[in-house]
Copies of this chain bind each other. A is one copy, B any other.
Amino acid sequence: MKHAPLIAQNHMRCADCPIRHRAVCAYCEPPELAVLDAIKSYKTFQAGETIAWAGEEMEVLGSVVSGVATLSRTLADGRRQMVGLLLPSDFVGRPGRKSAPYDVVAASEVMICQFVKQDFEKLVSKTPPLERRLLDMTLDDLDAAREWMLLLGRKTAREKIASLLVIIARRDAILNSQDVVDGLRFALPLTREAMADYLGLTIETVSRQMSALKKTGVIVLEDARNVGIPDYAALIDEAGDDSDGGFIS
């Protein structure tokens, strides 16, 4: 699972940043970018490394530049539920509060464009485009969380798996700036355990449903982590969403 690691270029300019147009800075103009440029720094985390602990005070905030991180909550007896997946351009941290009640863990090697929390918050309150972008992103996150509540509360195991595959297929297509087409192939960025935590299932059930979808021909498994979608419409169908779609990219 080694991707070619991005080198943390401490002097990459915001204007050249790959997430420039989707991250919290998206609405900023060059003068505002210059300010961000001056106070930002890059930090890389290894796969499996914890970026922030639940309840621990965070001194930095930032954006995921590359890689995948997960947000999760844990019950006292160890039951764990993932409550968010952080992809490039997603925001890390909880502005306006000292700590957040969830663990942030790197699922792959992750590079973050970070800011000192206090400095960033001060800047946000003086920079309307930043604040507006943060609001829009938070509203989108809220929509996504509510979509996920529907999945967790009401979908069957098979529908949950299919839904997750749809999301990953979409994201993958977007990364390659193309539409989702039949025959798409992609690598799962999550282990079976992470999938289970995300879907509110056990790894055994995840595994069984993957096998079941494979047996039905809805997906093709080259190995445990490489999935092919011969018929995208069939997969959508398995996800059980009502026709109007509903997932927010």
Contact = CB atoms under 8 A, between A and B. Distances in A.
Contact of A146 (B76, B97, B139, B145): B145
Interface stretch (A62-70, A216-224, A239-247): A239-247
Nearest to A55: B244
Interface of A: 55, 71, 73-77, 79-81, 83-84, 94-97, 100-102, 125, 128, 131-132, 134-136, 138-139, 141-143, 145-150, 152-155, 199-200, 240-244, 246
A139 B128 CA distance: 17
Contact of A131 (B132, B141, B148, B244): B132
A246 B147 CA distance: 22
Copies of this protein in the assembly total 2
A101 B143 contact: yes
Contacts of A135: 95-96, 131, 134-135, 138
Given A128-B128, A135-B131, A240-B76, A146 B83 contact: yes
Contacts of A102: 146
Contacts of A94: 139, 143
Contact of A150 (B73, B97, B128, B241): B73
Residue among A77, A131, A134, A154 with max Cβ neighbours from chain B (10 Å) = A154
| 4 A-B pairs with least C-beta separation | A153-B200, A76-B242, A152-B152, A145-B145
Contacts of A83: 146, 149-150
Residue among A102, A142, A240, A241 with max Cβ neighbours from chain B (10 Å) = A142
B149 A241 contact: no
Nearest to A201: B153
Nearest to A125: B132
Contact of A149 (B76, B81, B243): B81
